[in-house]
Amino acid sequence: MLPHNPRMQPKQALLFPGRLLALGLALWSATAVQAQDKPVYRCPGPPVLYTDAMTAQEARDKGCRTIEGAPITIVPATRPRTPAAASGALGRPGDGNRVDPAEQRSRDSDARRILGEELRREEDRLAQLRRDFNNGEPERNGDERNYQKYLDRVAEMKAAIVRKEADVAAIRRELGKLPP
């Protein structure tokens, strides 16, 4: 239980998570009964320390008290599994999960073929956009009697060309990453 402090408001007691954690640990450990030969000490200070790894003299010097009643059971933490190890995905090189070189070459050639087709399609679309743009003076449509509508369409066309050029450059970079 938290010590009573007349200056502390009830809501302020929640501001001391170390004390609450120690209280929760003490309550939890009181329910887990396991036979132990060593005494368990409760040492003061933030955070409160529960230990059985000191001698009686060290405990007296630090102002620790022996816990009476049920001994504390300490459960060692388990190591978390890494996502790669849990899913069985490729791990470290040389661990037996390597891909056959012939299959990797096949995958690379498929990727090169797919990216090459996509590059040709995007270059064709870019060329069509540039033809329609006509060096910044595209043909006016019949519904563009208002000159601002025409200027808006020209700005949209220019932005579309810039986006398409970026797409083509990205595909070329991806092709460059693949082995020859």
pLDDT of residue 10: 52
Q: Is the pLDDT of residue 37 over 80?
A: no
Residue 157 C-alpha from the chain's centroid: 38
Q: Is 145 or 23 the better-scoring residue by pLDDT?
A: 145
Q: What are the pLDDT digits (tens) for 3-29?
A: 555 565 555 544 555 565 565 656 555
CB 126 within 8 A of CB 168: yes
pTM: 0.45
User: Where residue 96 falls among pLDDT bands split at 50, 70, 90?
Assistant: low
